[in-house]
Structure 1
Amino acid sequence: DDEVDVAVETETLAELKAIAKQMTAALKVLHARIKTMEAASPSKTIQNQEILTLNITIPDKQSVTIRIMRGSTVAKLKQRIIDECFPALKKPKELKIEFQGVPGENMKGLNFYKVTNETRIVAQIAGRGGGKRAKVVPINQFDVLAANDSDAPVVQETLNSLTIAWTAEHWEVFLSRNGETGFTVQSLTEMKLSMKTGAPSVKMSNLLGFVWQFQAIKAMCERLELVVRYVRARFVLNYECFSNQAVFNTLIDQVIGGKKAAAALSAIQGEP
């Protein structure tokens, strides 16, 4: 009898395991269908099309405001930031981004990180802050960057002074300059103190903090960068008067038609 009971219990246990396996498989299929239906639902689509206004903090730079759809990927947000602030970068992977301290992965969506207008977002060039440093625009120290006629006078003066490698005599002439664009005894003393330690690149970075021409160029770049971001932001704002791209395309077609008509009329009037 004991052997029969054990056989029955064993058979019952096997049946229960088989049933549990079937239920687990059915639940997986049901869960997948629910996810598909949620993704295709009108409310989900509307939510993904909601426009977020994100304030991005960029170390060593002013913050930038990006308007982007909630359903966008991290890679798309990175590209928008690159277009605004880092035009020298080529791909989103060259930029790293964090949402509330959590690193963002390119292929994941903003919804995955529960991004809202209040989310704290920090973006910076990949490699900064430790490890290998990113080389955004490689510059060979032996290359010569020639001045253009369109460059500001201070840029032309600075570039023209760097067309050859300096000797100690060149440095003496440079450091001996007086006036508003030169150096005082105090600034030279502070310069010397700032160069006590560090690699040559660090020392020169500290020295350039005392060079009027370099600071003027930096100020120009910061202003132009601000102007570029402003123009882009205003065009995004101005585009919002159109309900969709089709309406904008219709306007373009109207303008094209007007130009063609004007050209045809001009050709007719020009005939003898």
Structure 2
Amino acid sequence: MTPPNAVVLVFDAGLLGLLTRKADDGEIRYRARKGQSIKDMVESLGVPHTEVGELVGPGGERVGFGYRPEEGGRVEVRSVVEPFDVMQDQPLRAALPHLAFIVDENVAGLAPLLRAMGLDAARDGLNGDATLAERAAAEKRVVLSRDRGLLKRAAVTHGRLLRTEGTDAQFAEIVRHFGLVPTAEFMRRCLRCNRPTIPVEKVDILHLLEPKTKKYFNHFRMCGGCGNIYWRGSHYQRLVNRLARAGVRIPTQEPLTADEA
């Protein structure tokens, strides 16, 4: 029997692992404070609002995060449906104008992998959660983190609380969750600072190259920001293989010429 002043919250299988309270068959009887919103209820149980895809109230109607359930009411809390397209309107959040990420320091290793795919992936977190959340809101970015508190901030509209541990497993998780595919800028974004790279003549950077690189390679790209130089050496193929193991569909690439092999 539902205690007086309680609301029944029913969580689907995708959210059960995030709950900080035991849920019998996904149900939790929650003693709500007067006027408490469903967002506050759900987040107090350990589930950031970024992980919630839909809320269904009594009678089957969709409700928003500001909904205040009545005593004895029942709300279904459903997870985000994969693949999650952030550029499409969703029941609880408006579409973003573009796909761009911001990576918290606790999952910083994801940034270069996303950049290798040609995706805009900023890295932040050294100045605190509030600053990162504000930047995500201002630049319309998806927040990737293991920090529940960060993802509960109201300024964060789109994000993913990483369930897995280890950079490669986390990368595979977000490739699946967001349905990520390489862009036209595949391997053309600086892995270090996130800016697009541009072709550069070998003669212009000869003084920056190691002897073996000078001897065996002739085609280069350079970042106009940090000055990092890229070429299709063994490190390039290792990175491509790493992306492929995470489930990325590698685009067809022009074969290496004799002087690049």
Task: Compute the TM-score of the two structures, normalised by the length of structure 1.
Answer: 0.29
Higher relative strand content: 2
Q: Which one scores higher on RCO, CA 8 angstroms, separation ≥ 6?
A: 2
Higher relative helix content: 1
Q: Greater CA radius of gyration, 1 or 2?
A: 1
Task: Compute the TM-score of the two structures, normalised by the length of structure 2.
Answer: 0.29
